[in-house]
Amino acid sequence: MTAIIAPAPEVIPQIAFRQNRNDPNNFEIYTINADGSGLTNLTNHPARDECPYWSPDGRSIAFVSDRDGSGIYLMASDGSNQRRLTAEFTRCEIPDATMAWSADGQWFSFVSCPAGLPDIYVVRSDGSDLTNLTHNPAADANSYWSPDGQRLAFGSDRDGNQEIYLLDVQASLQGKGDVGLIRLTDNPAVDVPAGWSPDGVRLLFFSDRGGNPDVYLMKADGSDQTRLTTDPALDYYPAWSPTGQWIAFVSMRDGNHEVYIMAPDGSGQRNLTASPATDAQFWCSPDGAQIAVSFMQDGAWSTWIVDVEGANRKQLDVVGCLDWRPLRGR
């Protein structure tokens, strides 16, 4: 008799986000399934809780909170065991998306401005070994972990204008100063890093070296810098799909902010959102099949969940500063 194997249950992608649903002055961290079901308030605290970041194993969420002053906190994925990870956090006038976990979940990086200018810090997942990695009077921000967790790409104006640098994290943790620090770009334009290819071989960035912001790609040693977009409109804030099959970016080429995708060589550029709304930010799902797009229409922010193939979309009553739960956490 042939055994009947039941199909594996469908796994619905989950998103963590911040929103002030019940009090305009009080943001909370929520989770919701990408199909709109399962809305859950995780923090439920009178303080302002924002910017959730899933750990790579999906078991924990780091977030920013002004409870007990200010700091970065950590909680289990169900909202339990909320505890302070570090009090060393001073908000900067830059996007909060300068935070990230290392791939092994051992370190959490963030940008803090205790002296008015941003520096890049790391702290272990248990709150120990807090270290200012950059410790420079310049503005250091926009940091991205390499897939192997050994290096950080970041932007800095330490040499007079915004360039891209590569930092050996272990060398910096051992107090070796600029040992292991490599400058990847050397251009009078503004160069801003935007993330690693999943294989760690290449780095995305955007630059106005061609007269207006465009998307570029280079090898991780700074060589082979290649322009991927050439439209006279603004093309910026690119990101790799987690599978490496495509690159998404924000463009103004249709008169308003839209999210486009293209192949890693720049071919096949197409408008994914194609709406009259301002589609300003996006986050790729871990399987590369969907993109969450934060958009503004009629003065209110919301979020599209857009299929990369076919561009089917669903609107969620979710405000930006969100993060997808990793596939490993299921």
Whether 73 and 65 have beta carbons less than 8 Å apart is answered as yes
Residue 247 near residue 268, CB atoms below 8 Å: no
**What pTM was estimated for this model as a whole?**
0.91
Q: Are strands 191-196 and 119-124 parallel, antiparallel or unpaired?
A: unpaired
Please give the full DSSP string across 206-219, using - where no structure is assigned.
EE-TTSS-EEEEEE
Both ends of the chain: CA-CA distance in Å? 33
CB neighbours of residue 213 within 10 Å:
23
Q: Identify the residue whose tokens are 């399934």.
A: 33
Fill in the amino acid letter for 291: I
Closest CA to 17 of 330, 321, 326, 328: 321
Q: What is the DSSP letter of 28?
A: E
Per-residue pLDDT 10s for the chain (330 aa) are 555 554 444 567 899 999 988 887 889 999 999 999 999 999 999 999 999 999 999 999 999 998 888 889 999 999 999 999 998 777 765 544 478 999 999 999 999 887 778 899 999 999 999 999 988 888 998 999 999 999 999 999 998 899 999 999 988 888 766 668 999 999 999 999 999 999 999 999 999 999 999 999 999 999 999 999 999 999 999 999 999 999 999 999 999 999 999 999 999 999 999 988 899 899 999 999 999 999 988 888 899 999 999 778 899 988 878 999 998 644
With the C-alpha atoms ordered 257, 263, 264, 269, is the resulting torsion angle positive or negative? negative
Query: Is 251 in a helix, a strand, or coil?
Result: strand
